[in-house]
A and B are shown apart, each in its own frame.
Chain A
């Protein structure tokens, strides 16, 4: 018996050595990436990030949350106790009992994993992931047998079987990190949480892109080693659960993008390999096996097709769903920056739009003096340099769209009814450059931002009000890094404030049709504002029917990230899917709060619910018409 216990001790320390060796081996791949701040103290943040932030996402699916709690909790407890009892050669029966308990918990969890994998969801990966319930169960059973069966009963044969089961389970647990197996996620996941490339997200909602140093030797990411090392580490944390795939609007529309496959392709890039062995859903329309990469090889087009890169709407649905807190959109933008700034290789109408921005400071190439033509009869005050006002209205590119001009006029009507002291910039207003930034053109973005910041600092104002969530996000979250710090409000938030302050008196809406509300990604997911528009709609007596995907988990309209410009073909259009979501609720009116969403949803052909901005619904319900 003693020999068996010593054998387990030997196995334990061998396993620790294998784990350490594998981790070092993998870490060498990560360290090939570009520099990023590092401190061991960041490891102390892991428990909180794991138990709060990760759990917050995982708990949306209670089954898998419980399953992981049992498996991982049981395994960690068992291994810790093993370290005590066998690692330190205590061989105490009491500790053995505790190990048995932990192993039983783990075995229960393994059973749940097995249940889940009997009829796997389409988003899950097969291959090595399918053996996981068996290897985990083998480890748990081995520990159970070791602790429960009296030594007297253990024949040589039994001991060998137990040792084999333990060996199989231990191999799965400790060799994953070195060989890129499923259990890689345990080590990479913990380190990823500690050294997360966007650590701000654990303090508050963080969605702003990092400014790019335009003097850097290479702009953006060309090859895997151009990513920062902690981004590479982040890719390795992926558990291939496919929640991003299920949430991705481009994937649903049959465009050649799958966020899960994208992250796995980046892993192939950092570890060298071909995607022939990938066992999840491929990019729609692109067969597996045609792509391969290596750390020093350009990612496009050998590892990733350009169509995949330009399909992303930057809606962040994948990031919102990712239990491992991976930043898919940041990686997409890094790759786009290289393609745009170093190659000028943008598809569709994107180059034309960027040229327009550089030459006219409008996306459509319009005469900037025409930006406020829709307001010519509204007697708006146009602010001049040196003057001051409480609220500065920034219309954005929607001001050139005849459809959105109706929403802007409704907003002005509400502001005038509430007696708000507001003004417009008129012909001084220029584009924020937001769309250029999503397309990776950081140079044009920074030029536009610098110009707008100079304009904004020539006038005095208390707050900026805008009806465009993209302008809102850009000014609020991305301008501070370039020196523009403002209080920025989206019109729904501002109007909700006016209503609760009693400044804006609204009656009941005359609208009797069933209504649903579509959350703009750049208002909801990017800024967490989901309540104000709903509160306003409730205020005027709307009985809102929610779509299946709403609020922070709303589905994109397809208009973000310059996707309407790059216009990558798919099986269907994203706005068609969103309108189908709305139809499923029985709604015949979709309330919106974004010029992009309005244009995309109104572009759906055939009979469809009417698309009306929240401001228009409110203006129609004004108690005292001005």
Chain B
């Protein structure tokens, strides 16, 4: 651990999946916790509004949270890049819980600053002017990578850290807005947002036959059962469907 290391932790406002209540994004809390483990002084930066949920980061150990004002829908890249230029280590979560949550910020930030980027970091150790990272790979695999400082590192949501929520530190800290943006915000992203459409669910009659009968059915070439209703009025056809649904208990009325 080198004392003169300049570390920035980028934090966002998350949302609870059950209630939708704004909160500290879990992944960003891990990034903050990892940063505080490396250096006592960490610049905690948030691009956007000074939302009350940012106070949670104070409880998780940030001495203060610096807000870089940003119009809604604007891209945070340019102001963040201008602010963290010159830092040794820039830590963030992999993906935001709210907003676009595209997960591209660490990459774009690294590209803008011309720095190496490592994603899915579980543990990090600073070794002189390099940092060694245990990286998450699927199926329990891990990989150790080493990058030279400065670097952008995105923490994996499963990073084995136990951040502590301390009310006294929330009370002691402060959220302050940077006076003026260092750089004009990047133009809004060209992405278009639209409400999600719930996909219709196919009702499937539960299988009632025993195993042997099912096996025979699977190899049979004739019709799998059911009836084809071609003739008759619309009401009769609807009646046939309703009867089928009721017979198979696919509807409860």
Contact = CB atoms under 8 A, between A and B. Distances in A.
Contact of B166 (A343, A355, A361, A362): A343
A358 B24 CA distance: 11
A348 to B, nearest CB: 11
B18 A219 contact: no
Interface in A176-230: 214, 219
Contact of A351 (B18, B19, B23, B164): B164
B125 interface: no
B210 to A, nearest CB: 31
A361 B19 contact: yes
B165 A342 contact: no
Interface in B162-209: 164-168, 171
B21 interface: yes
A340 B169 CA distance: 11
Nearest to B14: A359
A342 B21 contact: no
B100 interface: no
Interface in A342-389: 342-345, 351, 354-355, 358-362, 365-368
Nearest to A338: B168
A78 interface: no
Contacts of A366: 18
A219 to B, nearest CB: 6
A361 B166 CA distance: 19
B165 A355 contact: yes
Contacts of A341: 166-168
Nearest to B53: A359
B94 to A, nearest CB: 20
B164 A359 contact: no
Interface in B1-60: 16, 18-19, 21, 23, 59
A620 interface: no
B16 A359 contact: yes
B16 A342 contact: no
Contacts of B166: 341-344
Contacts of B171: 214
B167 A443 contact: yes
Nearest to B59: A344
A441 B164 CA distance: 13
B56 to A, nearest CB: 8
Contact of B19 (A214, A342, A367): A367
Contacts of B18: 359-360, 362, 365-367
Contacts of A354: 165
A345 B59 CA distance: 13
A214 B171 CA distance: 9
B165 A343 contact: no
Nearest to B19: A360
A359 B167 contact: no
A359 B21 contact: yes
Q: Is the interface of A mostly helix, strand, loop or mixed?
A: helix
B192 to A, nearest CB: 29
Contacts of B19: 359-361, 367-368
A415 B207 CA distance: 42
Nearest to B162: A351
B18 to A, nearest CB: 5
- What is the interface of chain B mostly: helix, strand, loop, or mixed? loop
Nearest to B171: A214
B51 to A, nearest CB: 14
B168 A342 contact: yes
A443 B167 CA distance: 7
A214 B21 CA distance: 23
Contacts of A343: 164, 166
B83 to A, nearest CB: 29
Interface in B126-185: 164-168, 171
B166 to A, nearest CB: 4
A443 B59 CA distance: 12
- Residue of B16, B21, B59, B168 with highest tally of chain A CB at under 10 A: B168
A341 B168 CA distance: 6
A214 B166 CA distance: 13
Contacts of A368: 19
B62 to A, nearest CB: 13
B52 to A, nearest CB: 12
A258 B166 CA distance: 28
- Select the residue from B16, B19, B59 with max chain A CB neighbours within 10 A: B19
B165 to A, nearest CB: 5
B173 to A, nearest CB: 14
Nearest to A365: B18
A379 B18 CA distance: 25
B164 A344 contact: yes
A343 B169 CA distance: 9
A360 B167 CA distance: 18
B244 to A, nearest CB: 26
B16 A219 contact: no
Nearest to B170: A443
Contact of B21 (A340, A344, A360): A360
A341 B172 CA distance: 12
Contacts of A344: 59, 164-167
Contacts of A340: 167
Contacts of B167: 214, 219, 340-342, 344, 441, 443
A340 B59 CA distance: 11
A360 to B, nearest CB: 4
Contacts of B59: 344
A92 B166 CA distance: 69
A441 B166 CA distance: 10
Interface in A310-363: 340-345, 351, 354-355, 358-362
A360 B19 CA distance: 5
A50 to B, nearest CB: 40
Interface centre among B21, B164, B165, B166 (most CB of A within 10 A): B165
A365 B26 CA distance: 14
A360 B168 contact: no
Nearest to A220: B168
A341 B165 CA distance: 8
Interface of A: 214, 219, 340-345, 351, 354-355, 358-362, 365-368, 441, 443
Given A342-B166, A367-B19, 10 more contacts: A214-B171, A343-B164, A343-B166, A358-B23, A359-B23, A360-B18, A360-B21, A361-B19, A368-B19, A441-B167
The list of the 4 closest CB pairs from A to B, nearest first, reads A344-B164, A344-B166, A359-B16, A360-B19
24 contacts: A214-B171, A219-B167, A341-B168, A342-B166, A342-B167, A343-B164, A343-B166, A344-B164, A344-B166, A351-B164, A351-B165, A359-B18, A359-B19, A359-B21, A359-B23, A360-B16, A360-B18, A360-B19, A365-B16, A365-B18, A367-B18, A367-B19, A368-B19, A441-B167
